[in-house]
């Protein structure tokens, strides 16, 4: 196979790493999966159920037969990252499925996950994500605070629990080259401009946890940041700093409107007016889908949910104080 003559949607990144555009809902530039074609080949992220045939074809084009793939790992179980896990497990029957322990049961039985997604996405669910198939529980390996995936030849992926975007989120470091697969922990990356936009969906967004994850990623000192949305970033310290700065801008903008009448609509309007103008347009094609996944409405809803949760926790603590 000539790595200099790859079909559109597959990019060789060196060190036997290939970025694969999963073509979410038929759009390019939305979700990157990554194939590490080592002695024990591994796929990081699978995209949606609708993306599974695209990913399968790309892996086959890169020379792997059904029995060759050793591991499928997802950074977290949101449907744009893990919705195709059951389908991919079916076509690669020898692959072990690795996920954080907080998400493992939802891969084995996606019914609750799909019900929640249907409430959020309604009529758009099938078009955007398709339907997640169950994965055999015996093939799933759950990892906790840290874990390891054997890539063969002494090469490993080391997982690090990385909450903030989701409670079931982890980052993955390639010991051979220092690449860090960041999932959604840093947000959405525009490879044409270097812009980083937060991804703060309900119900799990937590600013403090996000900031701890960003510090962890900085301490790891990775060589590259491998974004699921979208592609590899080589300006690592600058990108992490930008991610934190943008996250704080979004949270402070939403906080300004919190507690006012119609605060959600007001906050969305403020973000669109004051914040979204900070970013260059996303690459053509998937821009509308990315705005659906991590745009003003979704992100503001997650931040408002977090602020409401903080207020409820403060009220509960106050009620528990004696003599008040």
**pTM, two decimal places:** 0.94
Q: What is the pLDDT of residue 260?
A: 62
Q: Which of 45-59, 207-221, 271-285 has the lowest mean pLDDT?
A: 271-285
Contact 19, 6 (CB under 8 A): no
Distances from the Cα of 297 to the Cα of 126, 164, 276, angstroms: 20, 18, 11
Closest CA to 250 of 231, 227, 225, 272: 272
Q: What confidence tens digit (pLDDT) does each residue in 241-296 have?
A: 999 999 999 999 999 887 665 678 888 998 999 898 888 877 666 788 888 888 89
Contact 279, 197 (CB under 8 A): yes
Q: What confidence tens digit (pLDDT) does each residue in 181-190 have?
A: 999 999 999 9
Q: What is the pLDDT of residue 259?
A: 65
Distance between CA atoms of residues 215 and 213, nearest Å: 5
Q: What is the pLDDT of residue 286?
A: 77
Distance between CA atoms of residues 198 and 245, nearest Å: 10
Q: What is the pLDDT of residue 71?
A: 98
**What residue ranges do the domains of the chain occupy?**
10-318
The pLDDT confidence band at residue 5, using thresholds 50, 70 and 90, is confident
Q: What confidence tens digit (pLDDT) does each residue in 113-132 have?
A: 999 999 888 888 998 999 99
Judge if the upstream peptide bond of residue 254 is cis by omega within 30 degrees of 0. Answer: no
Query: What's the mean pLDDT in 68-91?
Result: 98
Task: Check whether 306 has a pLDDT greater than 80.
Answer: yes
Task: Check whether 323 has a pLDDT greater than 70.
Answer: no
Query: What's the mean pLDDT in 289-318?
Result: 88
Q: Which of 9-23, 88-102, 159-173, 257-271 has the lowest mean pLDDT?
A: 257-271
Q: What is the pLDDT of residue 246?
A: 96
Closest CA to 74 of 110, 112, 125: 110
Distance between CA atoms of residues 28 and 287, nearest Å: 9
Burial class for 8, CB neighbours closer than 10 Å (0-12, 13-18, 19+): exposed
Q: What is the pLDDT of residue 265?
A: 86
* CATH code, 10-318: 3.60.15.10
């Amino acid at each position: 196979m000539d790595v200099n003559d790859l079909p559109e949607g597959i990019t060789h990144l060196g060190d036997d790493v290939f970025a694969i555009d999963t073509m979410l809902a038929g759009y390019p530039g939305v979700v990157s999966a990554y194939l590490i074609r080592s002695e024990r080949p591994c796929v990081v992220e699978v995209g949606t159920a609708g993306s599974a045939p695209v990913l399968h074809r790309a892996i086959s084009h890169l020379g792997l037969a059904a029995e060759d793939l050793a591991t499928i790992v997802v950074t977290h179980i949101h449907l744009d990252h893990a919705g195709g896990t059951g389908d991919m497990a079916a076509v690669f029957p020898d692959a072990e499925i690795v996920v954080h322990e907080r998400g493992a049961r939802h891969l084995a039985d996606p019914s609750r996950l799909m019900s929640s997604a249907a409430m959020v996405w309604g009529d758009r669910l099938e078009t955007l994500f398709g339907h997640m198939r169950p994965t055999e529980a015996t093939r799933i390996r759950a990892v906790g605070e840290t874990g390891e995936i054997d890539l063969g030849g002494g090469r490993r992926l080391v997982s690090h629990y990385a909450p903030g975007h989701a409670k079931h989120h982890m980052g993955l470091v390639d010991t051979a080259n220092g690449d860090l697969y960041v999932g959604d922990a840093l947000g959405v990356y525009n490879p044409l401009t270097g812009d980083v936009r937060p991804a703060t969906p309900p119900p799990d967004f937590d600013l403090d946890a996000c900031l701890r994850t960003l510090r962890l990623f900085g301490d790891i000192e990775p060589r590259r940041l491998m974004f699921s949305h979208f592609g590899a970033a080589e300006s690592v310290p600058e990108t992490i700093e930008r991610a934190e700065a943008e996250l704080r801008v979004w949270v402070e903008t939403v906080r300004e409107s919190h507690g006012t009448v119609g605060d959600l609509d007001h906050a969305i309007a403020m973000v669109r007016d004051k914040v979204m103008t900070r970013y260059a347009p996303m690459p053509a094609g998937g821009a509308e889908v990315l705005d659906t996944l991590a745009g003003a409405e979704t992100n503001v809803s997650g931040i408002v949910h977090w602020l409401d949760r903080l207020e409820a926790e403060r009220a509960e603590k106050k009620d528990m104080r004696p003599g008040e």
